[in-house]
Every structure is written in structure tokens, then in C-alpha cells.
Amino acid sequence: MALSIVSYNVNGIRSALSKGWAEWVRTHGFDIVCVQETKAQPDQVDLTEMADLGYHAHWHSAQKKGYSGVATFSKHQPDQVVIGCGMEKYDNEGRIIRTDFGDLTLLNCYFPSGTTGDERQGFKMEFLEDFFTWAHELKQQRPNLIIVGDYNIAHTERDIHDPKGNKNSSGFLPEEREWLSKWFNSGFVDAFRHLNPDKVEYSWWSFRAGARKNNKGWRIDYQSVSEPLRDKLISARQMNEAEHSDHCPVLVEIEE
């Protein structure tokens, strides 16, 4: 049996729903759906369609209305749900939700973007270091760990359409890429790259200048799995055909 987990930065869940997102979910019947950038509180969203499909919903919204936020929808009710990571400055922005299913722990994450200036870039780098420490402490207690979401970093030149032109852009800065290398050398596996060493696929495109049509994108949405799960990976891919957002969904299938 394969467990299917899809992760999707929907850039506003209400917008995605208006574009047929719930019907798309129904067509695929994923076991778990992780959404980032919900930009909503649960009481602002009509999730009747998702409930009718049998999904249990768990939310972590930002304090600021219309900003950030993550939600996890699962066919099976989790054994435990933990909202946030216990660090107030990140939890106020609704960036992490943890769900446990048996001995498997899933983190649905929306990493900060640094594109609006130095202050937020500094916040992003602080988050990366704090997240690294926190996730590794969690891995000691819960070794079967899956961390999906929008990491807001393209790792290597294969993960971005114009590496030279973006070498000074937030999301492809040397220090960000070094952090991701450190991450993937510390007991976590990039599921997509592990299964597809040479494939070029992107998960985000700018809304400007026909970037998506011309496939001028970045791969910034990841599925990290801890080392014990490496050999259970079945498939991982970008679902480029889905168009409800400036991102596309990323799917991973894991042997149960």
C-alpha cells in the first residue's frame, strides 16, 4: 500500500476553491493534503466539499488576517495534532502544523520569504537556523519524519531556470542554498531529487511575462524524509498540470 501526500502552496485557499481545487482533490483522492499560504481563518472558508470527501481538517492560521497559514487535510484522523513549533515569532505567522499517524510524523511548513527586503531576509535566515535545531530535536523522538511544504529556496542550478540571473535573488542566495545542502546532509533526503537525480521540474513560476507558459520556474517546494524512510519512497513529482496558484502541487508516495 502506498500513502499519497500532496503539498500545495495555493496562494489563498478561497481563490483556489473558486478555481475548482476541491474537485481536483476529489479526482485524485490523496490520503493527505497539505496546504500552505491559506491566507484565511477556518471560519472564512466553506470546506463542505472537503468534508464531503471524508477529509479531517486541521488549521494553523496567522494572527494577521489574509496572510500566510497552513492547513492539513487527511482521510484518517491523526493520532496527535500539534499547532506550531513553540516559537512565538513563527507561530504568530502560522507556519508549521504537525500531525502524527502511528509512528509517522508529518510537518506541513511554509518557510518565510525574504523577497520584501533585508528585514524579512534576516527573519528567514533566523527561521532556517531555528527550524534546523527544532526539527532535529523532534527527529530524536520521532525518527520517521516527513517535512513537506514551500521552503522558498531553490537548491541547485537544476532547480531554477536562470541560475546566473538569480544569483543575488532571495530564494537562491548562496547562504540559503548552503543551508539546504546542510539540511540534506544531516539525515534528511530530498525525495524528488533522490528518485529523479537529473530531472528538471519546477514548482513555482512568477505571474510576470508568461513565465509558466515558458516554464521559467523555480523548484522551491520540497518533500524531505528522514533517513529511515528513504527506502520506502515510491515516487515524487511536481503536478505541473494543476493550475490553481502560482505554485503547482508536489506529490510524494511512500510505502506504508
150 in active site: yes
Map residue 233 onto helix, strand or coil. Answer: strand
Model pLDDT, residue 1:
83
Domain CATH for 118: 3.60.10.10
- The fraction of the chain above a pLDDT of 90, given in percent, is 98
CA distance 182 to 167: 19
CA distance 205 to 139: 32
The model's pLDDT over 125-140, given as tens digits with 9 standing for 90+, comes to 999 999 999 999 999 9
Those residues whose C-beta lies under 8 Å from the C-beta of residue 178, and which sit 6 or more positions away, are none
Residue 53, burial from CB neighbour count under 10 angstroms (0-12, 13-18, 19+): middle
Model pLDDT, residue 183:
98
Q: Is 0.75 topped by the overall pTM?
A: yes
The model's pLDDT over 193-243, given as tens digits with 9 standing for 90+, comes to 999 999 999 999 999 889 999 999 999 999 999 999 999 999 999 999 999
With cell 471560519, the residue in question is 43
Which among 43, 91, 118, 150 is annotated as catalytic? Answer: 150
The model's pLDDT over 65-98, given as tens digits with 9 standing for 90+, comes to 999 999 999 999 999 999 999 999 999 999 999 9
Number of domains in the chain: 1
Q: Residue 106 belongs to what domain range?
A: 2-255
For residue 174, the surrounding DSSP H or E stretch is: helix 174-184
Q: Strand ranges (DSSP E) for 31-119?
A: 32-36, 56-60, 70-74, 80-83, 96-101, 104-110
How many Cβ atoms are within 10 Å of 184's Cβ, its own excluded?
16
Model pLDDT, residue 75:
98
Q: What would the grid cell of residue 11 be?
A: 496562494
Is pLDDT at 34 greater than 90 in this prediction? yes
Which amino acid, residue 248? C
